[in-house]
Structure 1
Amino acid sequence: MIRRGERAQPAASRRRAPAAVAALAALALAACSSPPPTQFPGGIAIPAGASGLRDHVDDQLRTMTGYYRFELPPSQLPAFAAALHCALGEVETGPRAAREGDPDWFAPRPAQPHRSCESSADGWIYELEVDVSRPERYTVYLAASS
């Protein structure tokens, strides 16, 4: 119903207005959030079973360091380590000490059993730390520096 003194709008205009607002909201949201990465630096694919991925890239004048943490099924760890050209060490405790610039969420817990390795490929140096304290799902910490 049209109120006295208001102009009538065609039905199509009334339907398009909410759709236009929704489209603008979607564009604004897309501009504010970036899509999750599909690969790590150096072109190494993120494993299909990875979940809970957190990432932070520290891009400085001459170097760049990417910090990544995610959960991974144990069955996918060997293929991931092979992609990094990294031979995982035996299970031990006392992971690498936190370094300046590490995000708060990046440091593994020192008392947890872990496996680790280091490698380099395609101009990147990789440090891999894997918390193996939960046999059903490992927590992977990866630092990649150029």
Structure 2
Amino acid sequence: MSAVMPYGVGDMLSSANAPDLAWVPWTAEGTYFKLLNADPETGFYSLVLKVEPGTHLSVQRHIDPAEAFVLSGSFYYVDEPDRVYGRGAYVREKAGAVHEPVSDEGAVMFAVFHGPIERFGRDGRLLGAFDWRWHVHAWNAAGGHYPI
């Protein structure tokens, strides 16, 4: 797994060649991520997310806004099954958004999280809050190297 390159050029630039990065298991079965950026000052983190075909995620809540741009495939929210977000779609989820994403065909998307996301079990129990620290730890534990 290639490393995300640390800041350079006067600490103003960070880069990653996403195709060279390995997929790391994300917060739910059938989901994976590639860590592109994690900012301890703002709490923002940027990922490439992959969702396997047939994945129905449990309820998630965004503590802060999140943005996604669908690169391939599609997804929808269980409460709005006729509103499908496919290739080229941009979605912005407001702080406090609660939903259940579903992807019948699978999807790959670029996502920017402005803060933590909470995931709940099918029984409604909070499974965890996943912030930039969690992503850096999971990334590095999987063999990546993200400098903090």
Q: TM-score range by the shorter chain?
A: 0.3 to 0.5
Normalised TM-score (structure 2): 0.34
Q: Which has the higher helix share?
A: 1
Normalised TM-score (structure 1): 0.34
Q: Which has the higher strand share?
A: 2
Who wins on radius of gyration, i.e. which is larger? 1
Instruction: State the structure with bigger RCO (CA 8 A, min sep 6), 1 or 2.
Output: 2
